[in-house]
Amino acid sequence: MKYVVVFYVMVGSVLALDNGLALTPPMGWLTWQRFRCITDCKKYPDECISETLIKRTADKMISDGYLAAGYNYVGIDDCWMEHDRDQEGRLVANGTRFPNGMKHIGDYLHNKGLKFFLYQDYGNKTCAGYPGVLGHEKTDIDSFVSWGVDYIKLDGCNVEVSKMDSGYPEFGKMMNESGRPMVYSCSWPAYQDKPDYESIQEHCNLWRNADDIQDSWSSLTSIMDWFAARPELASYAGPGHWNDPDMLLIGNFGLSVDQARVQMAVWSVLAAPLMMSVDLDTIRDEFKQILLNSKVIEVDQDELGKQGMRVWNKSKCEIWTRELSAGFAVAFVSRRDDGAPYTLRVTFEDMKIPKQNYIVQELFDQENIRNIRSDDERFETRVNPSGVKFYKFVPGQNNEIKRSAEVIYFLE
């Protein structure tokens, strides 16, 4: 770790990014989707944006296995500040809800093996009206360093869009020069009609592409459609720089279990950051199992870092395919609402995978391991309405499945 920090300081002022961070899509938890800007702790003591919420969530991430599964960032989104800076122009955490300040939060998370994720805004105010960084960039970065922040999400409210193309890179350069490695999440392209993705890729570790996700199936599918219509965005994703379709809705109010599996599968095909935003104290077991599914997480975190895309769309069903370091991930998504599972029979060409022998594992543990041969004409699966079947196709030489310990070990 010491070597990485030294290297970071040496090259930070020369290279725009290259900070050695986010080599796989970041994973963690963020306040916004579930807890928004709830600040009345008397009325909503278990939901307000506060030190108490962050600490109890951090504790649950450890005790319930989320950290062990890879979710290592704990994020505070908007509404953590006082409405005014101090006399020296520095940001101040809300004194009632964060009585011990932000450094205390950073220390608490680090002592538990977690990392500190914090929200700010490039404008003069955040989206919720709290102080933004504009005009205070260096001062605020110094504060982030002193608090031990590991990840900055920089939103784009209350600033001229024309300033973003120079302002976001300059802020990132200051972050690099600070000497502290911090993941840089930009909301830059979400506010522009024609984003310069080459520049965004160069200057940010990840970036929000479009509108905020809302807690509903219609919002989820609209974001899926947005990405499906822009397959060229996949070329900008890779180790250290990722498209971000926004937070996971899983475990909240708007998605069924089947629909939650759809989001987890499609986000993994998209090589998306996996940021939970849910009350971990009240989440139901069936949703928790989706978030902790190690086979799906392995797809999302695949070291090749190649983003997948939608490759087939017929009969209100879709195929989303991603090339992996060893094989392919293929998600069969139903957008049907006719009340019965739908049978799909598709070709290698439909799935956009090479025609060869594969050992096939269904990743939500709904089917036994099976295989497909290069001379098979069709691959068949049956998908629930607004549901998914998610498979990993691993190239194999056997014509028949052998359920030996060796094969099972290889697949898992």
257 and 379 fall within a common domain: no
**pLDDT score at 18:** 75
pLDDT band for 207, please (50, 70, 90 cuts). Answer: very high
How far apart (Å, rounded) are the C-alpha atoms in residues 391 and 285? 22
Tens of pLDDT, residue by residue over 316-351, are 999 999 999 999 999 999 999 988 999 999 999 999
Q: Choosing from 155, 246, 300, 302, which is the catalytic residue?
A: 155
Q: Is the separation of the CB atoms in 289 and 312 below 8 Å?
A: no
Instruction: Give the CATH number of the domain where residue 324 resides.
Output: 2.60.40.1180
Range of the domain at 120: 2-300
Domain count, the chain: 2
290 and 360 fall within a common domain: no
Half-sphere exposure of 394 toward its Cβ, with a 13 Å CA cutoff?
19
Q: State yes or no: is 155 an active-site residue.
A: yes
Which of residues 258, 283, 300 is at a domain's end? 300
Q: Phi, psi (5° rounding) for residue 323?
A: -75, 135
64 and 131 fall within a common domain: yes
Q: State yes or no: is 212 an active-site residue.
A: yes
Which of residues 300, 320, 343 is at a domain's end? 300
Which of residues 249, 275, 300 is at a domain's end? 300
**Polymer length in residues for the chain:** 412
Tens of pLDDT, residue by residue over 369-397, are 999 999 999 999 999 999 999 999 999 96
pLDDT band for 192, please (50, 70, 90 cuts). Answer: very high
296 and 315 fall within a common domain: no
Q: Choosing from 18, 165, 212, 376, which is the catalytic residue?
A: 212
3-10: Cβ within 8 A, 24+ apart: 4/181, 5/179, 5/180, 5/181, 8/176, 8/179, 8/181, 9/179
322 and 293 fall within a common domain: no
- Residue 214 to residues 45, 218, 248: CA-CA distances in angstroms? 23, 9, 10
